[in-house]
């Protein structure tokens, strides 16, 4: 009879070691190794694949057919997934507690009326699922629910129900009888995820897994969990704010630069198809320190309001605080203002906020940040009909940005009359627009055009 053995796993990356180590040699994390007892593997939970043994073939002879996808009945989710859910893929959905992961998964399952769906819940009872379904006001007789946590009992149900889509809520609640470890441990999570991956590839059915996150916002469990799945989706937002943002941090079948925006309501999540109208202030009053920028998230153009507040420092060290914007980049832009425009910030607090709770990493919003800071400092409002787009360099030059025509069209669609863009982009514009396009090369030139 095979004996049980003791191994050590890194809780950060999943690296395995026969002995305890103070620092993980794979990821460099300190005190991350935990002891686990591994039982001998049984064949009970193994997924058999009766296909012919694989043989090596030339890449030129491999069929390159278009990947078959499932329409999720949600434009936002389809956009983030890259056009729909790929058949046979394993998707991991993570997010903060109470952010709406289970609501999104159940809402999508109830909307796909033409598919046979198996929704496995390890956290909620069938009565709790029924209450949530009633709140969502969706009915789907093809959506079967199962309250189970043993992976060996879940796998036969997939075949018995002829499920075409499986939802697991959540991976941390599952356990395998072949492993002598508690639920949610590194060994259990990795084993259950591996069995689900075999199931998805052998049966050629997509599986959506919901995962917990740590206090730092990372997917709980070993890092190998994210490596095993095909797509990792991150559901973000403030529980006290109604807006939710869906991002893809990993996608083997599409781009990771797309995002979807939802609004949490009593009856479920509502898609925000035109987020620019939601993210912009509806007030007609012009206030200093506020400007609008045209940013890109993947192939989607978003108009975002940048708010700045410049005030005298109450303490010796001035504050530099930003919400939704990189603080290091803010310090760089303040240094450029001080060097190139003699704008003194040594005795001033500077606060930057991106309205709507978005986190924007597009460097094209630099121009709007500069204008908002200057507007708040001199207390002169920026016209609400102006839009800004451009990256600011260390010498004060305004550098060209990508996809400028899409940004211009979005600003024109929302009624802006002027858009300030880099001079290098203006000569490449070929389409005619009604909005006035003003090319600028230096931040000094921009300040004169806006405030004079």
Q: Is 217 annotated as a binding residue?
A: no
Q: Is 100 annotated as a binding residue?
A: yes
**Cα–Cα nearest to 339, from 289, 392, 380, 288:** 392
Q: Is 63 annotated as a binding residue?
A: no
In the numeric block, which tokens belong to residue 229?
A: 């799945």
411 Cβ neighbours under 8 A, 6+ residues apart: 292, 294, 303, 387, 419, 435
> Helices 101-111 and 126-136: crossing angle, nearest 10°?
70
Q: Is 289 annotated as a binding residue?
A: no
Three-state secondary-structure class, residue 449: helix
Q: Report how far residue 76's alpha carbon sits from residue 271's, in angstroms, rounded to the nearest whole number.
A: 7
Q: Is 344 annotated as a binding residue?
A: no
Q: Is 95 annotated as a binding residue?
A: yes
Strand partners, 209: 92, 168
Share in percent of the chain as helix, strand, coil (round to 5)? 30, 30, 45
In the numeric block, which tokens belong to residue 112?
A: 């796909």
Strands 207-211, 90-95: pairing is parallel
Q: Is 381 annotated as a binding residue?
A: no
* Residue pair 68/87 in contact by the 8 Å Cβ criterion: yes
Intra-chain end-to-end CA distance of the chain, in Å: 87
In the numeric block, which tokens belong to residue 92?
A: 């991991």
Q: Is 98 annotated as a binding residue?
A: yes
Point out the annotated binding site: 95-102
Point out the annotated binding site for ATP: 95-102
């Amino acid at each position: 009879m095979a004996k049980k053995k003791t191994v050590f796993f890194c809780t950060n990356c999943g690296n395995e070691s026969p002995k305890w180590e103070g620092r993980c040699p794979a990821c460099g994390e300190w005190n991350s190794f935990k002891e686990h007892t591994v039982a001998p593997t049984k064949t009970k939970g193994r997924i058999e694949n009766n296909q012919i043994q694989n043989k090596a073939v030339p890449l030129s002879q491999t069929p390159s057919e278009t990947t078959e996808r499932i329409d999720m009945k949600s434009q936002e989710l389809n956009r983030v997934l890259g056009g729909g859910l790929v058949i046979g893929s394993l998707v991991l959905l993570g997010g903060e507690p109470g952010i709406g992961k289970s609501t999104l998964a159940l809402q999508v399952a109830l909307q796909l009326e033409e598919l046979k769906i198996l929704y496995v819940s390890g956290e909620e009872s069938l009565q709790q699922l029924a209450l949530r379904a009633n709140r969502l006001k969706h009915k789907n007789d093809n959506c079967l629910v199962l309250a189970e946590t043993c992976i060996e009992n879940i796998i036969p149900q997939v075949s018995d129900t002829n499920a075409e889509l499986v939802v697991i809520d959540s991976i941390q609640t599952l356990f395998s009888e072949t492993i002598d470890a508690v639920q949610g441990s590194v060994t259990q999570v990795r084993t259950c995820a591996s069995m689900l991956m075999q199931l998805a590839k052998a049966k050629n059915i997509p599986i959506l897994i919901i995962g917990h996150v740590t206090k730092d916002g990372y997917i709980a469990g070993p890092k190998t969990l994210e490596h095993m799945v095909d797509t990792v989706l991150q559901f973000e937002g403030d529980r006290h704010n109604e807006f939710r943002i869906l991002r893809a941090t990993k996608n083997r079948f599409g781009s990771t630069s797309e995002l979807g925006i939802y609004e949490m309501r009593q009856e479920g999540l509502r898609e925000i198809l035109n987020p620019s109208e939601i993210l912009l202030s509806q007030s007609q009053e012009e206030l200093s320190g506020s400007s609008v920028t045209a940013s890109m998230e993947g192939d989607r153009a978003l108009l975002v309001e940048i708010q700045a507040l410049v005030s005298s420092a109450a303490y010796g060290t001035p504050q530099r605080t930003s919400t939704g914007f990189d603080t290091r980049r803010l310090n760089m832009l303040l240094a450029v203002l001080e060097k190139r425009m003699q704008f003194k910030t040594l005795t001033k607090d500077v606060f930057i906020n991106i309205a709507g709770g978005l986190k924007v990493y597009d460097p094209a919003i630099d121009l709007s940040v500069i204008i908002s800071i200057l507007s708040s400092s001199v207390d002169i409002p920026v016209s609400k009909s102006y839009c800004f787009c451009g990256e600011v360099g260390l010498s004060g030059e305004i550098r060209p940005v990508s996809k400028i025509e899409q940004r211009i069209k979005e600003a024109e669609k929302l009624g802006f009359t002027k858009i300030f863009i880099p001079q290098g982009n203006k000569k490449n514009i070929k389409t005619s627009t009604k909005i006035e396009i003003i090319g600028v090369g230096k931040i000094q030139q921009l300040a004169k055009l806006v405030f004079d």
